[in-house]
Structures are given as C-alpha cells and as structure tokens.
Homo-oligomer: A and B are copies of this chain.
Amino acid sequence: MKGISIKDIAQQAGVSPTTVSFVLNGKGKEKRISEQVSKRILKIAGKLKYKPNQLARGLRTGKTKTIGLIVEDIANNFFANVAKVVEDEADKYGYKVLFGSTEDNEEKARGLLEVLRYRQVDGYIITPTLNLDKDIASLQKPVVLMDRYFPNVKDSSYVVVDNYQGAVTAVDHLVAQGYKHIGIITTTSHQIQMQQRLEGFSAGLKKHGLPSGKNVIKRLPFDLDRPGFTQEITKYLQNNRELDAVFFATNYLGICGIESIRSIGLQIGSELGMVSFDDHDIFRLLSPAVTCVAQPVEEIGRTLIRILMEELDETSEGPKQVVLPLELRERESSVLVKKLPKA
C-alpha cells in the first residue's frame, strides 16, 4: 500500500532484488553488475521515485542514520542555537536528529537515553546531568558530550568551553575597566562547568589582589524560578553595597540580575558593572547593552558533529576532547563612566 520497494524495481527490470540492492548501494562495480543492467535499474528507480525504507535497512544493518541530541532545555537560547547547527551539520551527512530536554533532571535524562537506545540511534550528543556517567558508559554507541563532561571519565569525547578561562577573562576585563570590588552570582549546582567558572572567578580576584571574602560569592539554589532568582539577587545586592561589579555565571542569572539591579534603582555600568557568562540575544539590545563572555555556538555545533561522524566512521583514534575559548564581547554594562568636572 505504501511505497514502492526494491522488489517492484527488480520486477520491472527483470532482475533479482539482490542485484537492485547492489546497484542502488553503489556496489554495482564492486559486484561486477553489467553497465547495462545498472543503468536500467537506476532509470527505473528514478522513474518510480524509489526511497529505501529506512526501517528495514536499519533493522538489517543496525544503522538508523539517526543521532540522539539530549540537551538541557531546547527552549533555551544557547541549546536552541546549538541544536540548529547540529541539525544542519548532521543533515550534510544524511543524519536526522531525535531530541529531548532533560530539564537537568537525572531521571528524565535516563528516560531519554532509554528511549533513544531502543530506537537504535547510531550515536549521541549529550548534555549530561549529574550522575549520568554510568548510564552513558553503558550505551555501547559513540557519544560526544557537550557543555559539560565527567572529569573522572577519561575516555569520553566532548566539546566544552574553557569555563575557567572565561571567568578569568571576565574578571580581567572588569578590573581593566576600573572596578575594584567584584562579586559573582552563581548556583549551588555541582556541575563541573559551574565549578570551573567559580574557580576561574576566584583565581581572577586573587591574581588582581581583590577582596575575596565570603560575601563576594553568592550561590543560589538552582531550582529557583525566575522571580525567586530575581528576589534573591536583589537581596544579595542590597546587603552588599560595597560591590561595584557583578559577574553572573549564566545568562539566565544575568537576565534575572538585570531586573534586580533595576528594581534597586542602580545604574548598570556606572554604579554597578556587570558581565554575564554566555551571550543572549537580549544582551546586545538592552540599554546599556550587556558585556559577556560568549560561547562560540557555531563552532560548538560543527565540532560536535565532526567528532561524532569520525567516531561513527571509526576513523577516530581515541576520544577527542575539545575545549573551545570564549570570546569577550565588550558592551556598555562594564563601562564605569567617569564624571567629568563641569566645564
């Protein structure tokens, strides 16, 4: 009832399905099918608009030409942008993408892995949650991690950014701009990327001999909602008036932070400098525009697929671990305007 199959072509061409399969898979030469027969088959296949049934092929070969993309949240600016690039790049290799969002929930992540596994995806791109290392290791298919990885698992491929250096860069920049009392707002998450940002921040303060008491670090429960974050940040800023700049460890926190700073009535930049980790559409458009250390989204997506394809090809020797640099995008939120004396 549905499509036309290899059998139909075989019948019309007066050959066996075997021969058709050989020709259609480009093995005509190798299997020494005559030019004549090959041409006939190709012509008929074209006329009939033959499309191989991927399910049947997959069942037989074990390859589905599908990759599973597990992100934290597909509605999130960063992940949506990466997903777009991944989709485009995968397409170039004839792969389609099956996706899912974990919400950073371990159980949800396990559920996704299970579903993708029994759908026989050929490989995975995964933004892991905590404690997912064992589950990922049991996958038996190529995996490339993104955004974060497991430091104690040596043999996994990943593409991440240099969180540590990114945070150092942010502090360097704020110091160069003249800020002297810098705080960080981050979450209580124990994920490696968050740890690294915090470590980079602290190292940055130390490097410049800036005050680094308890009060410069504010960790918020990562399961707060937006009003919750905003409220907590507001409280923190009100209780720490000595701060003249703040580094936000995620763009989500940065966005909430803007609301907080405004609600207090502080002037962003001149009265309180800010830099956010990770760019966001809105940062360019706010007034003042928000300075950030940006992730190279395009390159992340391209690298993910390149590595995964190498592993699927089995041309890969050992795990590939790529750490991409962040890019400082200087905007107005980190400009400490000097008031000029009246003329």
Task: From the candidates B55, B100, B101, name the one contacting A59 in the complex (CB within 8 A).
Answer: B55
What interface size band does chain A fall in?
A: 35 or more
Looking at the assembled complex, report how far the CB atom of A147 sits from the nearest CB atom of chain B, in whole angstroms. Answer: 16
A88 / chain B contacts, CB cutoff of 8 Å: 101
A55 / chain B contacts, CB cutoff of 8 Å: 55, 58-59, 64, 119-120
For chain A residues 251-296, which have a beta carbon within 8 Å of chain B?
255, 258-259, 262, 280-282, 285-287
A97 / chain B contacts, CB cutoff of 8 Å: 98-99
A64 / chain B contacts, CB cutoff of 8 Å: 55
Q: Mark A50-61, 1 if CB is under 8 A from B, else 0.
A: 011111101100
A52 touches B98 (CB 8 A): no
Looking at the assembled complex, report how far the CB atom of A302 sits from the nearest CB atom of chain B, in whole angstroms. Answer: 15
A286 / chain B contacts, CB cutoff of 8 Å: 282, 285-287
Q: In the complex, A66 Cα to B262 Cα: how many Å?
A: 46
For chain A residues 230-256, which have a beta carbon within 8 Å of chain B?
255
Q: Mark A103-119, 1 if CB is under 8 A from B, else 0.
A: 00000000000111111
A83 touches B87 (CB 8 A): no
Q: Mark A64-96, 1 if CB is under 8 A from B, else 0.
A: 101000000111110011011001100100001
B100 touches A98 (CB 8 A): no
Q: In the complex, A275 Cα to B261 Cα: how many Å?
A: 25
Task: From the candidates B75, B262, B282, name the one contacting A84 in the complex (CB within 8 A).
Answer: B75
Residue A339, interface by CB 8 Å: no
Residue A32, interface by CB 8 Å: no
Q: In the complex, A279 Cα to B281 Cα: how many Å?
A: 14
Closest to A94 in B: B115
A140 / chain B contacts, CB cutoff of 8 Å: 2
Q: In the complex, A117 Cα to B62 Cα: how many Å?
A: 20
Q: In the complex, A282 Cα to B258 Cα: how many Å?
A: 11
Task: From the candidates B51, B54, B76, B87, name the one contacting A99 in the complex (CB within 8 A).
Answer: B87
A211 / chain B contacts, CB cutoff of 8 Å: none
A228 / chain B contacts, CB cutoff of 8 Å: none
Give me the interface of A with B, judged by CB distance under 8 Å: 2-3, 51-56, 58-59, 62, 64, 66, 73-77, 80-81, 83-84, 87-88, 91, 96-101, 114-120, 140, 255, 258-259, 262, 280-282, 285-287
Cross-chain pairs A/B with CB under 8 angstroms, 19 sampled? A2-B140, A53-B59, A54-B120, A55-B58, A55-B59, A55-B120, A73-B84, A74-B83, A75-B80, A75-B81, A75-B83, A88-B101, A96-B116, A280-B281, A281-B281, A281-B282, A282-B286, A285-B286, A287-B287
In order of increasing CB-CB distance, the 5 nearest A-B pairs are A282-B282, A51-B118, A80-B80, A75-B84, A55-B59
Q: A51-B117, A77-B77, A281-B281 are in contact. List 10 more A-B contacts (CB 8 A).
A: A51-B114, A55-B58, A55-B59, A59-B59, A66-B119, A75-B80, A87-B99, A96-B98, A96-B100, A96-B116
